[in-house]
Amino acid sequence: MRGLLELMFLFSAMALVGCDTGNGKVVATGKLSHNGKNLNWGRVRFFDVANKELGGSTIKSDGTFIATDLPIQELKVVVEIAAPKGITPTSKAPPGTPVIPAANARPEKVVDVPAKYKSPETTTATINVTKANQEFDIKLD
């Protein structure tokens, strides 16, 4: 019984602390936009001042992201908007083959960002991660 109580206390303490991943890094969420339009495709990447990549996330169709394992510090924000990499089929599937839509399929019209936000050397966008569960509204204007 005592072991059960200790375990319950430990889980309660962890819930009060927030989403620290246990290695001193945290989860951050947010939304990315450019000129008032939510980004709808791509990847957001986070770099330190030495331009070392420290994390990233897929950008969802509504402009939101969830980045895990980010360090508590100021980070540069870089947006990568490119065609998905991978194998391009050279022939069509046989008739009757079911088509499974991609979870985050590239939209026909992608909201793009200026070139300066696509490189850690030139981006002026930053976030300052100071605690777990921080939410950021990143406007790339």
- For 8-40, the pLDDT digits (tens) are 444 443 443 445 556 779 999 999 999 999 999
Confidence of residue 100 (pLDDT cuts 50, 70, 90): low
d(CA 20, CA 69): 8
Within 8 A by CB and 6+ apart from 109, the residues are none
Render the chain in DSSP notation, one character per residue.
-HHHHHHHHHHHHHHHH-SB-SSSEEEEEEEEEETTEE--SSEEEEE-TT--EEEEEEPPTTSEEEEEEEESSEEEEEEE--PPPSPPPSSPPPTT------TTPPPSS-----GGGG-TTT---EEE--STTEEEEEE--
Residue 115's φ and ψ, nearest 5 degrees, are -55, -30
Question: Rounded to whole angstroms, how far apart are CA atoms 12 and 24?
Answer: 19
Q: What per-residue confidence (pLDDT) applies to 24?
A: 79
pLDDT for the residue numbered 107: 85
Handedness of CA 102, 107, 108, 113 (dihedral sign): negative
pLDDT of residue 105: 74
Q: What is the pTM of this model?
A: 0.72
For 19-83+104-139, give the CATH class: mainly beta
pLDDT digits (tens, 9 = 90+) for 40-93: 999 999 999 999 999 999 999 999 999 999 999 999 999 999 755 444 444 555
Please give the Cα distance from 57 to 65 (Å, whole number). 6
Higher pLDDT, 137 or 3: 137
Distance separating alpha carbons of residues 7 and 45, to the nearest angstrom: 36
Is the pLDDT assigned to residue 7 strictly greater than 50?
Answer: no
User: What is residue 58's predicted lDDT score, i.e. its pLDDT?
Assistant: 95
User: Is pLDDT larger for residue 89 or for residue 126?
Assistant: 126
> What is residue 13's predicted lDDT score, i.e. its pLDDT?
39
